[in-house]
Amino acid sequence: MSVKIYHNPRCGKSRDTLKLLEAQGIEPEVVEYLKTPPTTAELQDILNKLQLKPRQLMRTKEPEYKENGLDDASLSDIELIEAMVRIPKLIERPIVLKDGKAAIGRPPETVLAIL
């Protein structure tokens, strides 16, 4: 049973989700995605598991979103994914993966559904 969390230690929701996993007796693989962003292929896989389009996983209120012209509706999914890989701050967090499933920990209890 392998569990992975894409984690930002400065984010309260991310810390709460990690604590929730640990309270369940789970020691997840912790990926600090700001330091080690997912690859384009990994992010595409995460999006498929979440059944989301790239823009739905983006933090659209971050200044980098508009500064990089990512509010342009004509951008393709791959262009948006590549932007998130380049600017990982734009990826919504935390993301938990387990056994081919994924969940965003907003609220943290959401991840319980895939455990």
Two tokens at 53? 């389009």
Dihedral (Cα; 35, 54, 44, 12), 10-degree rounding: 40
User: Could you give phi then psi for residue 114, rounded to 5 degrees?
Assistant: -105, 0
Beta carbons of 87 and 37 less than 8 angstroms apart? no
Kindly name the residue from 4, 11, 16, 115 that is annotated as catalytic: 11
Can 11 be counted among the known catalytic residues? yes
Alpha-carbon 97 to chain mean position: 10
Q: Catalogue the active-site residues.
A: 11
